[in-house]
């Protein structure tokens, strides 16, 4: 088994067992709570609409909401126990959550109530809300679905071949990028009417992508990869990580620790954040040109960090295993008090 396929075992098992083996210590919650709660569920996605207000989603249908930058979290009633992997809000009222078996949840009141819009069959890992009407979701088996009417109907735009799509980025309503397994990068310049596949020169899976505008973008993935483009994805530069595909026996422990897989990346202004396995966090203070590994407490290294949200002023949130919630304040990382 090569190094790439071994890294994919956890997600491929979804197709066989319908359960992520990394869900080691989660707690199912029966109903929403108006009082602050301690977050202990594995968290897979987060989205913020301001420095103070945001959401985090995760295991067993958990949806958490904060209005004070993560100091306190309140549980919202999702009406499902499915694993929830992605969350996006068009504004503070209208948002979507996606997850296992293709479940799609929608809110028009900031998450006070969530309604199920669809169960599309294929696991969905990421959702982007372009506005109150238009949202895209991507996932397993080349899944790509879009709504243009606020979720009343969803159109299947899936790829014809079997490839896992993990993330997407839309700097505006016309330009979008999707990344996934074996280094797949798709681009649209017409709002998703047509898609073209781009060549990064790297065959390793990409888990995260972010475009600041129609030209400047970043992607991250297996073995600590961070890629950058300045021409809309026509050409990519390897910023860090190991681009070579090799067998497990050829990769030493030190290299695996140094180049832990990265799952999400976001750049806003001069601040950039990339997160991944064994508590790995990289920060940039020059608009994503260079990246420095952040030293984190030892207990953070016991799990993975899955998602990062960043608003324009450098404030945001990092979430991960075991309810890890870390506030971002520029180059400072603060363990959120609501854990």
Taking the C-alpha atoms of residue 139 and residue 19, their distance in angstroms, rounded to an integer, is 15
- Least Cα distance to 289 among 269, 305, 306 occurs for 269
Burial class (CB in 10 A: 0-12, 13-18, 19+), 207: buried
Taking the C-alpha atoms of residue 103 and residue 99, their distance in angstroms, rounded to an integer, is 5
Range of the domain at 96: 3-335
Residue with tokens 């190094």: 3
| Ordered per-residue pLDDT tens for the chain, 339 residues | 344 433 344 454 444 334 343 333 333 343 455 789 999 999 999 999 999 999 999 999 999 999 999 999 999 999 999 999 999 999 999 999 999 999 999 999 999 999 999 877 899 999 999 999 999 999 999 999 999 999 999 999 999 999 999 999 999 999 999 999 999 999 999 999 999 999 999 999 999 999 999 999 999 999 999 999 999 999 999 999 988 765 544 555 555 667 899 999 999 999 999 999 999 999 999 999 999 999 998 888 889 999 999 998 889 999 999 999 999 998 899 987 655
Query: For the chain, what is the domain count?
Result: 1
CATH number, position 241: 2.130.10.10
Q: What is the pTM of this model?
A: 0.88
Q: Determine contact, residues 291/300, Cβ cutoff 8 Å.
A: no
Taking the C-alpha atoms of residue 220 and residue 284, their distance in angstroms, rounded to an integer, is 14
Distance in Å from the first CA to the final CA of the chain: 38
Taking the C-alpha atoms of residue 299 and residue 126, their distance in angstroms, rounded to an integer, is 27
């Amino acid at each position: 088994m090569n190094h790439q396929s071994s890294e994919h075992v956890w997600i491929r098992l979804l197709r066989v067992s319908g359960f992520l083996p990394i869900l080691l210590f989660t707690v199912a919650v029966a109903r929403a709570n108006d009082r602050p709660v301690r977050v202990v569920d594995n968290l897979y996605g987060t989205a913020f609409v301001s420095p103070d207000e945001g959401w985090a989603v995760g295991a067993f249908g958990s949806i958490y909401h904060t209005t004070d930058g993560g100091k306190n979290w309140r549980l919202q009633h999702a009406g499902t126990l499915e694993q929830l992997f992605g969350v996006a809000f068009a504004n503070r009222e209208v948002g979507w959550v996606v997850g296992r078996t293709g479940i799609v949840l929608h809110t028009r009141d900031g998450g006070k109530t969530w309604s199920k819009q669809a169960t599309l069959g294929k696991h969905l890992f990421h959702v982007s809300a372009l506005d109150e009407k238009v949202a895209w979701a991507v996932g397993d088996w080349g899944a790509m679905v879009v709504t243009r009417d606020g979720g009343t109907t969803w159109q299947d735009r899936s790829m014809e071949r079997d490839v896992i799509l993990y993330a997407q980025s839309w700097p505006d309503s016309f330009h979008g990028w999707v990344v996934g397994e074996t280094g797949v990068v798709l681009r649209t310049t017409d709002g998703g009417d047509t898609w073209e596949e781009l060549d990064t020169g790297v065959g390793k899976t990409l888990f995260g992508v972010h475009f600041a505008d129609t030209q400047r973008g970043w992607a991250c993935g297996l073995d600590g990869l961070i890629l950058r483009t300045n021409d809309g994805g026509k050409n990519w530069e390897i910023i860090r990580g190991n681009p070579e595909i090799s067998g497990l026996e050829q990769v030493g422990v030190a290299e695996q620790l140094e180049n832990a897989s990265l799952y999400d990346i976001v750049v806003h202004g001069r601040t950039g954040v990339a997160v991944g396995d064994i508590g790995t966090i990289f920060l940039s203070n020059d608009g994503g040109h260079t990246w420095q590994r952040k030293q984190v407490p030892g207990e953070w290294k016991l799990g993975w960090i899955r998602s990062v949200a960043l608003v324009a002023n450098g404030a945001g949130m990092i979430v991960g295993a075991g309810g890890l919630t870390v506030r971002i304040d520029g180059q400072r990382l603060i363990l959120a008090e609501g854990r």
